[in-house]
């Protein structure tokens, strides 16, 4: 995964007022932590950050004015409850070659077997351990031809090289269920009330 380069500035004012001012200036407040370093409070360019966060577990190279560069991944993103705009981001410092534990989206491909069966997603993401600069953006699983009663477990997922599961392999991720037939009694009752 390639890294996204964003610019940031250190911030020395805190609280709601300074956070609101930062957002008015098209900046998002954030905190950088990890590796035993003291937390750094920063403001990051809002537009570039919003675009970068469209990719899960994006690797970001933050160029902090007057303080060098930090390689980070987003750990927690807070959004406004109504506007859904980003209000704050926590970043975790990572080093090349270091393993990190992250949630990766599970994406399906293919079609279920004929018969109107339904696919039930039990886990939209799966926790994996991967090298910080090679975090997969998604894990694809084929559901081609699966019949009712079939279950895809975490151990069935084909992970990229260098990526390992951080959950029990027996954890169910997807399952195929048969469509539920309506009860004839309920249909008869509905017809009786219409008369």
Chain segment 48-86, per-residue pLDDT in tens: 999 998 888 888 999 998 888 889 999 888 887 887 788
pLDDT more than 90, % of the chain: 35
- Per-residue tokens: 127: 């926790």
Confidence band, pLDDT 50/70/90 cuts, at residue 185: low
Residue 189 is predicted with a pLDDT of 56
Reported as a single tens digit per residue, the pLDDT across 89-99 is 999 999 888 88
Query: Which residue's structure tokens are 């017809």?
Result: 191
The token pair that represents 46 in the structure block: 């809002």
Q: Are 106 and 141 in contact (CB under 8 A)?
A: yes
Cα separation, 101 vs 131, whole angstroms: 9
* pLDDT band at 192; cut points 50, 70, 90: low
pLDDT digits (tens, 9 = 90+) for 141-181: 999 988 888 999 999 999 988 899 999 999 999 999 988 76
Q: How far is CA 55 from CA 11, 63, 104, 162, in A?
A: 26, 19, 10, 20
Q: Given pLDDT bands bounded at 50, 70 and 90, which one contains residue 188? A: low
Non-local (6+) Cβ contacts of 18 within 8 A are 11, 29
Give me the phi and psi of 129, to 5 degrees please: -115, 125
The structure's pTM equals 0.68
Q: What is the pLDDT of residue 23?
A: 75
Round to whole Å and give the CA distance between 99 and 125.
18
Mean pLDDT of 112-120: 85
DSSP letter at 103 equals: E
Q: What is the pLDDT of residues 25-42, one digit of tens each?
A: 888 899 999 888 888 999
CA distance 187 to 13: 65
């Amino acid at each position: 995964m390639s890294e996204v380069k964003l610019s940031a500035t250190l911030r020395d004012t805190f609280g709601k007022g300074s956070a609101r001012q930062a957002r008015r200036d098209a900046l998002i407040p954030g905190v950088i932590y990890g590796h035993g370093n003291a937390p750094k409070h920063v403001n990051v360019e809002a537009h570039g950050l919003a675009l970068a966060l469209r990719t899960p577990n994006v690797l970001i190279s933050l160029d902090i004015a007057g303080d060098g560069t930090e390689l980070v991944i987003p750990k927690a993103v807070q959004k406004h409850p109504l506007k859904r705009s980003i209000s704050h981001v926590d970043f975790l410092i990572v080093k090349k070659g270091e393993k990190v534990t992250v949630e990766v989206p599970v994406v399906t491909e293919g079609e279920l077997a004929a018969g109107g069966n339904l696919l039930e997603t039990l886990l939209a993401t799966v926790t994996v351990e991967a090298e910080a600069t090679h975090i997969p953006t998604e894990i694809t699983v084929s559901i081609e031809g699966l019949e009712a009663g079939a279950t895809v477990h975490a151990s069935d997922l084909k992970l990229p090289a260098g990526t390992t599961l951080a959950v029990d392999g027996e954890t169910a991720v997807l399952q195929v269920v048969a469509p539920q037939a309506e009860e004839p009694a309920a249909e008869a009752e509905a017809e009786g009330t219409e008369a």
